Structure 1
Amino acid sequence: MSDTEHSHYPACYRTLAPGQIRVFELEPGDPSAPIVGGLVPQSIDGEPYEAVSYVWGNQRDRRELVVSGSRLSVTVNLHGALTAFRHPKSTGEKRRLWADALCINQEDLPERTSQLELMGRIFAQAHRVLSWLGWDEGEEGQRHTLAAIRFIRDFMEDPDAGILEARILLHHDPNVLGTVDPTLPPLSDEDQLRFEDQARKWKSVKVFFGIEYFHRTWIVQELGLARKAIISAAPTPSDNQALELDVIDWPLVGSFVKFLDYSGASLVTHLDLRSWVTHHILMVWETNDDGTPACDFLTGMHWARILGVTDPRDRVYSLLGHPYAVVDGELIVKPDYTISCGVLYTKLAANFIRKTKKLDAVKLVDHEVDPCLEMRVWDPGDEGIMPSWAPDWHSINRTTPLDYPIDAADAEDDWIRIEGDTNGTPGKPLPQLIVRGWVIDEISAVSHRMETTDFPVTNVAREKAKEHPFWLNRVWEVAFPTNGPPDRDALAVLESLSLALSFGIRDADEKVSKAGLNQTLEDHHRSFAAYVLQYHKLWSDANEAGDRGGYLPVSSMFDRLPAKVQRVLRLRAAGASSAGFLECMTWPSMCRVVYRTASGLVGMGSRISRPGDIVCRLRGSDELMTLRRVKGGSQNAPIPCAFVGPTVVPSRVKKGVLDGGAFGDEPAMFRVI
């Protein structure tokens, strides 16, 4: 495009050559002085610059600045970042910054698209990334931000001691139902001071991770690709007052949230901390021991689904800097704001399936509502329409992706087919996925949807306040119903349930699961036994207190077990802690259900699982899947069905066994609409 064609744009925007960016040379100034600077074109790997990471914020709340002699308006958040990051007037030094809303001509769609493809390189090449949380509003906001930063620094000097100290908040919470649990002894004066100190500190942490910055999709790439990133905030400045930035290194924040998720999941859920959202950013960029990415592009997309974005297509485009966004030397999808998000998500899933001959994309489907069981056509008026097998990355993810430690079937299959139109042509049928595999069984009973708040075992008052008090009793009734066959092996079912809840396996020489702590099978059995007995004690305490409310089951799950199984559990639980099991199962079980199949298999799967759904082993997927037969569809091959979600059935996943025939499963072909 010529400069003549750019004439309707502000004069500061001149045509960029391929591979070029603009850098804003920010003039020094005092906090209250106007923002002044100039845009300078250069190659990405030219003169050093720093990239600004921030949240755009309210588009209507804007401030003016002078750019290369032209007046431009930017959001108040960017204006605040430029104010905070510019050098004081006394230094006389310009600061070379890159900020998307300023350095890209937002009114020029072709330029936006071409610069979008460079975004990953822009942040990777930056000398440093300056992350702006925004102004600390008022005394309380300033106090919480600064207190949280100081607390995180102190906590990470000895995190094990820190998490041990924080556990007092789990067991003594006077805010439950506005009362105090009568079964608990009162706190000593010293412990009351400890409780108040911890409550104050963790409130600041909660406020800190609730800041909008940590909940926006674009920062995933901006922080993940940074050579060095500094998190900054500051009190709202007054006239001629020197700015005092509150700063903390991003890697230290990252270490803090990872530790909490792996060693303090029960605390995170109990205090309703949003720190786990920040952990999702880190998981997108995790690496193996050899430095290669441990997280593939699609799983990275899944982790980012919890984060906010204005345009749902940016769910994909904001992560194109990820190493695995490139397949066979090309981006898996090109930025294109002319297609709907439904078409984009379908094309992305189809491209990965076709190029890799794997069903990794399908493994990330996480339906919030039941899939449509009718054949549909592309409708340009429906932004979100897509096949049941394509993940809707704009819906909020509520589950941890299944990640078996061992394969359930061949992870690749050259036979996989996608039939139909993936370009969103109006009126054409949505594409169908043709796969082959085995039918394992049909689901016959399903539990309630499990929530993270269900899992911690604390005190009677806290248990009574839960939506699903004594959740383990409810789940056990599904897995091992009272009116079931008399010849069932209760211990085998119990072990299978405990493994399903943590994506576990049965091989004694392997770690039980990739989620949470790295427990051996023996450690897993011991910590689960301790968990069952801890719940039994809680039930006994409530029962002895004479509380006969509807929340209290008639009997404890433990009391319903055969005497020989009770003896095994008591033996295993001796000297063991329930913490290991709880930390391993909290995130995997969140927003999923436990089910029992017609033959008595126990599994855990999608929250939309229903009786009648079929559990399958599919070639091209290293995990088991759940499908739902299409009403009125033919029962001949291939079986017409909709995709429900991935699932785990520990007793049907065995190391080295990839063929369902080894278990007597029925071979089948499936046409997934």
Structure 2
Amino acid sequence: MSTPPDPPSSPHYPGCYRPLGPGFIRVFELEAGNPADPITGRLVAQTIDGAAYEALSYVWGDPRQRHDLTVDDATLSVTANLHGALVAFRHPPIPGSSSPVRRLWADALCINQENVSERAAQVELMGSIFQGAVRVLAWLGWEEGEEGRQHTLDAIRFIHSFMKDPELGLREARILLVHHDVSVTGPPSRLIMLSEDHRRQFEDQAAKWEAVKIFFETKYFHRAWIVQEVGLGREAILYSARKPPDDSENAESLVLDSIDWPLVGKFVKFLDYRAASLVTHLGLLSWVAHHILMVWETAEDGTPECDFMTSMHWVRILGVTDARDRVYSLLGHPCATFDGELVIHPSYTITRGVVYTKLAANIIRKTNDLYTVSLVDHEVDPCELKREWDPNDEGRMPSWVPDWHSINRTTPIDWPHPAADAGETDIEIEGGAEGIEGTTMPHLLVRGWIVDEIVAVSHRMETTDFPVTNLTREMAKEHPFWLDKVWALVFPLDEHPVGDALTALETLSLAFPFGTKEKGESASKVGPQLSLAEHQRSFAAYVLDYHRLWQAISDADASVTSGDAPARSLFESLPKEAQDELRRRAEGATCEGFLECMTWPSMCRVVYRTASGSIGIGSRITRPGDLVCRVPGSKVLMTLRRIADSVDEPGTISCVFVAPTVVPARMTASKQELGQDMIRFRIV
């Protein structure tokens, strides 16, 4: 579903919608027909727990491409994608007898989209509608000809086959990582370089994973409304089909291809936790489907593992027509209520900035913690934000409110040990969140300590930077030898004694995957974690792999390196005793474990050095002069930025919120180590 923000300019909705009572919905009784027959049916009002129905999950698609249906003898215009779903799912006629209707709930049919109050009321029921359906029919859309159908079938077969023995499937796929510079569509000479067996294996794997890649690029997987639609369904099945000829009257010519959503979920979860480097290397969008899965994960006792705010964060990568639906499309989540009341009620008469601010303020007040603030990930410098409400500015909101409609690819920071005691929390929100024009947006008032100040910042890290490949491919990266360059920034030898090198390197390595997991500790929600010993061995292997790649420069053609390679590798810069220790740790180890653990946490973030020489990882907009602060109520450290033109009262600093951050060496600093009285931060 994707509820339009405003009523359509043309009368797509006839006057056949009668008012609905509280708790009532409409179900569309779809008449049987052949593929080329017109779509006809009627709307029936009922309670959710009334007669059985199935729920349609689909993408609205281009609003300009429409088809007419006959509903209760009136003409209703719907998008081509919904029309295709109805063609695919209606029962075929039974010659000589009464043909059965198919009872379906579909948003564009069953909600009067021109009635704003009805839309809001029905959106509030959406979770219950999909939970109450006997099954969810997820329509991926028509397949593009015979080639498109073959891709779909290949992907479905491969997922089934892969999940019978995923470890074997992953080992077979690693040939695509080993031969980085080979492509089935590239120069034939590259394939000739492989042995006959390896070439066949490479071509087979490349073709299968290409089908998987195309499958997860389907628009269906990239819409926010499907999250609760497949997540809440008792049974959810994904369908597609090759579009029948327009003049076809043979019902058997329409064959549906299908795969169960739970199997797809197991597949994408395995890839994210065990094959992140493969996912990023092949450019797979399977991780988007995994985000949907994470929203609904539960503990062994059945309680949700993903709270409402984290659910919002995982879903923000998905598309919506109306930015307010980023909140409303998840109101079926079990954590969307406090004491039986929804965290926010749908309203299509206020801006997204007001909706998001109301939600954030409500959650902070009810939980008395700052986890919501830790989900902020600014696209632009927050110092440029205006500080008064403007109802004509959809995106205007305080710096401490997550803009769930902004582009975001970061994972929530999930450090294994909290940076502050929640019992010391002192949080206040000053001002209103009603969005009244000209009034000041609300301030977040908290108390805490300045831990350090940032003095140097790296480039933004991308997942394509991380794998150690061959020299030609390395030099083609946007940031070749990224680890060596990050190290030169965070540990300049002219500022640090070499004896501290190994300690600094270990701190840096812990920042990338947000720490390690020891026996008995809870696992990270953003990917796998190694024990400290495993982590040290795998990271040492990673450093040595990059060193060996750097050593290849002397044997390479000068045109390959073109001056972008560092003067020395990270390993080369270390004192002999540190080099010997890394060699000892790396013996018999590979870098794969470290790569799988650090890929998702580190992407789209930067590494920085503080005034005291500590190393941290934080937001892409971090800059020198930003303050690293510890604030009770926040499990991780905060990056705050002073407002230069502010006039502060004694003991108070006016600032904007930049981002959550990790500084491994300072995550558990005691009050005595901080050595100062608490400061009041006024976050605008």
Alignment match of 1:87 (pick from 78, 88, 91): 91
CA contact (8 A) 1:510 1:521 kept: no
Question: Secondary structure of the residue that 1:489 maps to in structure 2?
Answer: helix
Question: Secondary structure of the residue that 2:46 maps to in structure 1?
Answer: strand
Give the match for residue 158 of structure 1: 165
Give the match for residue 631 of structure 2: 618
Give the match for residue 654 of structure 2: 640
CA distance in 2, matches of 1:262, 1:501: 16
- Structure 1: give runs of 5+ residues left out of the alignment: 1-6
Give the match for residue 195 of structure 1: 202
Within a 5 Å distance, the mapping from 1:315-334 to structure 2 comes to: 315-334=326-345
CA distance in 2, matches of 1:244, 1:383: 44
CA contact (8 A) 1:443 1:614 kept: yes
2:370 matches 1:359: yes
CA distance in 2, matches of 1:10, 1:392: 36
2:138 matches 1:125: no
Alignment match of 2:554 (pick from 543, 550, 554): 543
Deviation of the 1:396 alpha carbon: 1.5
Flag the 1:558–1:421 CA change in 2: closer, same or farther, 3 A.
Answer: same
Flag the 1:496–1:427 CA change in 2: closer, same or farther, 3 A.
Answer: same
Give the match for residue 396 of structure 1: 407
CA offset digits 1:525-577 (Å, max 9, x no partner) = 11111111111111122333354422222222111111101111111111112
CA offset digits 1:261-287 (Å, max 9, x no partner) = 111111111111111111111111111
CA contact (8 A) 1:285 1:295 kept: yes
Residue identity in the other structure for 2:426:
W
Flag the 1:412–1:135 CA change in 2: closer, same or farther, 3 A.
Answer: farther
CA distance in 2, matches of 1:249, 1:374: 45
Flag the 1:308–1:245 CA change in 2: closer, same or farther, 3 A.
Answer: same
Within a 5 Å distance, the mapping from 1:126-141 to structure 2 comes to: 126-141=133-148
Alignment match of 2:397 (pick from 386, 389, 414): 386
CA contact (8 A) 1:440 1:666 kept: no
Within a 5 Å distance, the mapping from 1:334-483 to structure 2 comes to: 334-372=345-383, 376-411=387-422, 415-483=426-494
CA distance in 2, matches of 1:574, 1:263: 22
Deviation of the 1:176 alpha carbon: 12
Give the match for residue 67 of structure 2: 63
Aligned residues: 663
CA contact (8 A) 1:12 1:39 kept: no
CA distance in 2, matches of 1:256, 1:331: 33
CA distance in 2, matches of 1:248, 1:199: 22
Give the match for residue 3 of structure 1: none
CA contact (8 A) 2:518 2:531 kept: no
CA contact (8 A) 1:510 1:520 kept: no
Give the match for residue 493 of structure 1: 504
Question: Secondary structure of the residue that 2:94 maps to in structure 1?
Answer: helix
Question: Secondary structure of the residue that 1:372 maps to in structure 2?
Answer: helix
- Structure 2: give runs of 5+ residues left out of the alignment: 1-10
Flag the 1:177–1:429 CA change in 2: closer, same or farther, 3 A.
Answer: farther
TM-score (norm 2): 0.93
TM-score (norm 1): 0.95
Q: Percent identity?
A: 62
Give the match for residue 584 of structure 1: 597
Question: Secondary structure of the residue that 1:421 maps to in structure 2?
Answer: coil
CA contact (8 A) 1:116 1:335 kept: yes
CA distance in 1, matches of 2:532, 2:524: 9
CA distance in 1, matches of 2:267, 2:332: 25
Give the match for residue 193 of structure 2: 186
Deviation of the 1:12 alpha carbon: 3.5
Flag the 1:439–1:518 CA change in 2: closer, same or farther, 3 A.
Answer: same
Give the match for residue 667 of structure 2: 653
Alignment match of 2:155 (pick from 148, 155, 159): 148
CA distance in 2, matches of 1:89, 1:611: 70
Deviation of the 1:8 alpha carbon: 12
Q: Which moved more, 1:661-670 or 1:604-613?
A: 661-670
Question: Secondary structure of the residue that 1:622 maps to in structure 2?
Answer: coil
2:99 matches 1:97: no
CA contact (8 A) 1:443 1:612 kept: yes
CA distance in 2, matches of 1:473, 1:596: 15
Within a 5 Å distance, the mapping from 1:503-522 to structure 2 comes to: 503-504=514-515, 510=521, 513-522=524-533
Give the match for residue 682 of structure 2: 671
Deviation of the 1:446 alpha carbon: 0.6
CA contact (8 A) 1:457 1:535 kept: yes
Deviation above 4 Å: which 4+ runs of structure 1? Answer: 175-182, 505-514
Deviation of the 1:487 alpha carbon: 5.7
CA offset digits 1:149-201 (Å, max 9, x no partner) = 1111111111111111111112323359977999x993101101111111111
Alignment match of 2:249 (pick from 226, 240, 247): 240
Residue identity in the other structure for 1:215:
H
Give the match for residue 50 of structure 2: 46
Give the match for residue 14 of structure 1: 18
Deviation of the 1:142 alpha carbon: 1.2
Give the match for residue 6 of structure 2: none
Residue identity in the other structure for 2:657:
F
Within a 5 Å distance, the mapping from 1:295-314 to structure 2 comes to: 295-314=306-325
Flag the 1:525–1:557 CA change in 2: closer, same or farther, 3 A.
Answer: same
CA contact (8 A) 2:627 2:639 kept: yes
Flag the 1:143–1:412 CA change in 2: closer, same or farther, 3 A.
Answer: farther
CA distance in 2, matches of 1:27, 1:317: 32
Alignment match of 1:27 (pick from 16, 28, 31): 31
CA contact (8 A) 1:500 1:650 kept: yes
Deviation of the 1:482 alpha carbon: 2.6
CA contact (8 A) 1:23 1:42 kept: yes
CA offset digits 1:277-325 (Å, max 9, x no partner) = 1111111111112111111101111111110101101111111111111
Residue identity in the other structure for 1:556:
S
CA contact (8 A) 2:184 2:206 kept: no
Q: Which moved more, 1:91-100 or 1:434-443?
A: 91-100
CA distance in 1, matches of 2:577, 2:524: 27
Give the match for residue 628 of structure 1: 641
